[in-house]
Amino acid sequence: MRRMSGFNLVSLTFGLAFLYLPMVILVFYSFNASKLVTVWAGFSTKWYGELFRNEAFLDAALVTLKVAVISSTLATVLGTMAAFVLIRLGRFLGRTVFSGMIYAPLVMPDVITGLSLLLLFIGLGVDRGVFTIVLAHTTFCMCYVSVVVSSRLSSFDTSLEEAALDLGCTPWQAFRLVTLPIIAPAVISGWLLAFTLSLDDLVISSFAAGPSSTTLPMKIFSAVRLGVSPEINALSTIMIGIVAFGVVIFSIMSKRATVRQQQEERDAFHG
Amino acid sequence: MRRLILIALPYLWLLALFLVPFLIVIKISLSDVALARPPYMPQLDLSAGLAGIKAFFSELDFENFFFLTTDELYWRAYLSSLKIALVSTLFTLAIGFPIAYGMASAPREWRPTLMMLVILPFWTSFLIRVYSWMGILSNTGLLNNFLMWTGIINEPLQIMNTEIAVYIGIVYTYLPFMILPVYSTLEKLDDSLLEAAEDLGCTRTSAFWRVTVPLSKPGIIAGCFLVFIPALGEFVIPSLLGGSQTLMIGKVLWEEFFNNRDWPVASAVAVVLLAILIIPIILFQRNEQKQREAEQ
């Protein structure tokens, strides 16, 4: 099986082509001069110009970024706490309910999460806007963060913390100086995951947003409902570019960090 | 004290913003629609004390759920969502398995790159990935232009705004969810088992069906649930690619809420959808637990 047969090569090639071709086409046609998206009329960057002059899009992008930064940061703090509670604190009253509430939002359809939050906000008489979108995003994102962090915590050697405590650290110092640096990669990937989930969310935002606040996915959705538009192609190209760049940089950095860590461990062992 | 804060903060957050809203949905699904703000009845009147609470509960009923069974639209939407989710899960498996198999058989040094290539689309906006198919599938889209240029067809095929477009959209967007769990079980597969099967007279094909497939079952099951569960409540894909004739329950719920403003019925639709989802979710959890136990 470990031999790369012709069939394997073909299925890999076709599979990756299937995953990437639609996006490549999208990027390609964002440089099309024609308004008709499927007819090639020469190279042009005019849709990018149009996009940057479109204030509605820029405003929406700003709102989306603001929401994503705040809610992914909040979600990282809450999610890391929740992971600690699940992995470290053992039994307490209501633990089953707690772990249920962590895992349930992961499989809950967006329409139900959105609907239930909207009904809550209306019931409480809260004005809907950026604030309610942040609350909604923090809630579902913290569950993802807690799953990512708890998988790292469960493989964590607690004797390191015990050593720190024996050597006179307060619990908070032990956390800050020993635990946090070790789980940091998981916390960072949790934050990144929360950030992209928040940037990407359409359904929950649509329910939680008031009439005055629009996020970028909501804007894109209402624009593309009417059909393909070259401006959206340009916007998509920018977003795909940012993600691709970010993921490549992050994976190179985390690879270097792993290599360095292994090196240090080896040195410590032989030194 | 510190322990208490650590537990209380995430606990109360989830209680207030996940569990309580959900209870509100259940409550409103038992209420009646009313021409008021908010547009449903009854309202809990705590100022009337115990009598108010009693009156409140006596007015709750299952009327909306009966309504869902009498109106053809709803049960057709549920059935059609189930069908679409099931069929597209099978297609995702049929396309995802060979890719995962190809990845697992690739040279070891390629694998991290291949993994990243499969994960990368997942980080890209879901909405954009669905949108990218609109320009390909429409009547004047690239696929039809290409097929007409080659002379295979003379008239454009109607793919956009049909269920076929929804299948394509689901398979495309959820493919990484299938590939990754299947790949992770295939990667761990012990080669010597296949060698043993071949030594004992199995052909390569029968070794594949009798050794590889059964051993990758946990990954296949996990992948299928990871596709089926979100596909069932999908909203974006049917509303962008499916057109008006594709019925899916996520879309019905959205329209019931935003267009018809019938909150009690929308809530009832949500409660029933969740009741349907609970079965695959429990099965999925059980599969995950079994896998964890097997690993230990």
**Beta carbon pairs, A and B, within 8 Å:** 236
d(CA A231, CA A49): 9
Interchain CB contact of B149 with A (< 8 Å): no
User: Residue B226 is encoded by which pair of tokens?
Assistant: 């990871």
Which positions ≥6 away from B183 have C-beta within 8 Å?
Answer: B100, B103, B104, B115, B118, B219
Which range scores top for mean pLDDT: A32-41, A257-266, B87-96, B238-247? B87-96
Residue A193 pLDDT > 70: yes
Q: For the domain made up of A23-270, give the CATH fold.
A: MetI-like fold (1.10.3720)
| B123 CA: distance to closest CA in chain A (Å) | 7
Cβ-based contacts of B285 with chain A (< 8 Å): 103
Q: Mapping DSSP to helix (H, G, I), strand (E, B) and coil, where does residue B33 land?
A: strand
Interface test with B, best of A12, A196, A231 (most B CBs within 10 A): A12
Per-residue confidence (pLDDT) for residue A39, from 0 to 100: 74
Q: Which of residues 76-115 of A touch B (CB under 8 A)?
A: 78-79, 81-82, 84-85, 89, 92, 94, 97-98, 101-105, 107-112, 115
Closest Cβ–Cβ partner in B25, B135, B266 for A37: B135
Residue A237 pLDDT > 60: yes
Confidence of residue A32 (pLDDT cuts 50, 70, 90): confident
User: Residue A268 is encoded by which pair of tokens?
Assistant: 């410590």
8-state DSSP, B18: I
| A196 CA: distance to closest CA in chain B (Å) | 7
In the predicted model, what is the mean pLDDT of chain A?
89
Closest Cβ–Cβ partner in B106, B123, B191 for A4: B106
Confidence of residue A1 (pLDDT cuts 50, 70, 90): very low
Residues paired with residue B41 on neighbouring β-strands, in sequence order: B32
Which positions ≥6 away from A138 have C-beta within 8 Å?
Answer: A70, A71, A74, A75, A78, B13, B17
Cβ-based contacts of B10 with chain A (< 8 Å): 78-79, 81-82, 85, 98, 142, 146
Interchain CB contact of B125 with A (< 8 Å): yes
B121 close to B129: Cβ distance less than 8 angstroms:
yes
User: Cα dist. B207→A3, A233, B104, B194 in Å?
Assistant: 15, 47, 16, 6
A192 close to A76: Cβ distance less than 8 angstroms:
no
Q: Mapping DSSP to helix (H, G, I), strand (E, B) and coil, where does residue B259 land?
A: coil
d(CA B176, CA B96): 8
Per-residue confidence (pLDDT) for residue B19, from 0 to 100: 93
CATH architecture classification, B64-295: Orthogonal Bundle (1.10)
Determine whether A211 is exposed, middle or buried from the number of CB atoms within 10 Å of its CB (0-12, 13-18, 19+). exposed
Per-residue confidence (pLDDT) for residue A250, from 0 to 100: 80
d(CA B258, CA B236): 15
Range A1-27 average pLDDT: 86
Q: Which of residues 42-61 of A touch B (CB under 8 A)?
A: none
A41 close to A159: Cβ distance less than 8 angstroms:
no
| A267 CA: distance to closest CA in chain B (Å) | 25
Closest Cβ–Cβ partner in A8, A108, A200 for B105: A8
Residue A2 pLDDT > 60: no
What does the domain layout of chain B look like in residue ranges? Answer: 64-295
The lowest-confidence range among A60-74, A140-154, B54-68 is B54-68
d(CA B132, CA B127): 9
Cβ-based contacts of B22 with chain A (< 8 Å): 112, 116
d(CA A96, CA A94): 6
User: Residue B142 is encoded by which pair of tokens?
Assistant: 């690239």
Cβ-based contacts of A217 with chain B (< 8 Å): 125, 127
Confidence of residue A75 (pLDDT cuts 50, 70, 90): very high
- The answer to whether the peptide bond before residue B214 is cis (omega within 30 degrees of 0) is no
Q: What is the ipTM of this complex?
A: 0.87
Residue A271 pLDDT > 60: no
Per-residue confidence (pLDDT) for residue B37, from 0 to 100: 62
d(CA A234, CA B166): 24
Interchain CB contact of B145 with A (< 8 Å): yes
Closest Cβ–Cβ partner in B38, B120, B131 for A244: B120
Interchain CB contact of A245 with B (< 8 Å): no
| A260 CA: distance to closest CA in chain B (Å) | 18
Per-residue confidence (pLDDT) for residue B190, from 0 to 100: 83
d(CA B244, CA B247): 8
Confidence of residue A4 (pLDDT cuts 50, 70, 90): low
Cβ-based contacts of B25 with chain A (< 8 Å): 112, 115-116, 119
Chain B residue with Cα closest to A136? B17
Interchain CB contact of B172 with A (< 8 Å): yes
Nearest to A238 by CA among A26, A18, A21: A26
Interchain CB contact of B278 with A (< 8 Å): no
Q: Does B127 contact A115 at a Cβ distance shorter than 8 Å?
A: no
Q: Does B270 contact A228 at a Cβ distance shorter than 8 Å?
A: no
Interchain CB contact of A70 with B (< 8 Å): no
Q: Mapping DSSP to helix (H, G, I), strand (E, B) and coil, where does residue B42 land?
A: coil
How would you write the pLDDT of chain B (296 residues) with one tens digit per residue?
A: 778 888 999 999 999 999 999 999 998 888 877 666 666 766 665 566 666 677 676 677 788 888 888 888 898 999 999 999 999 999 999 999 999 999 998 888 889 889 989 988 888 889 999 999 998 998 888 888 888 888 888 888 888 889 999 999 999 999 999 999 999 999 988 888 888 888 888 888 888 888 889 989 989 999 999 999 999 999 999 999 998 888 999 999 998 888 888 888 899 999 999 999 988 888 888 888 888 787 76
Per-residue confidence (pLDDT) for residue B45, from 0 to 100: 59
Residue A97 pLDDT > 60: yes
| Cα four-point dihedral sign B3, B4, B10, B14 | positive
DSSP letters, A162-223, are: HHHHHTT--HHHHIIIIIHHHHHHHHHHHHHHHHHHHHH--HHHHHH--TT---HHHHHHHH
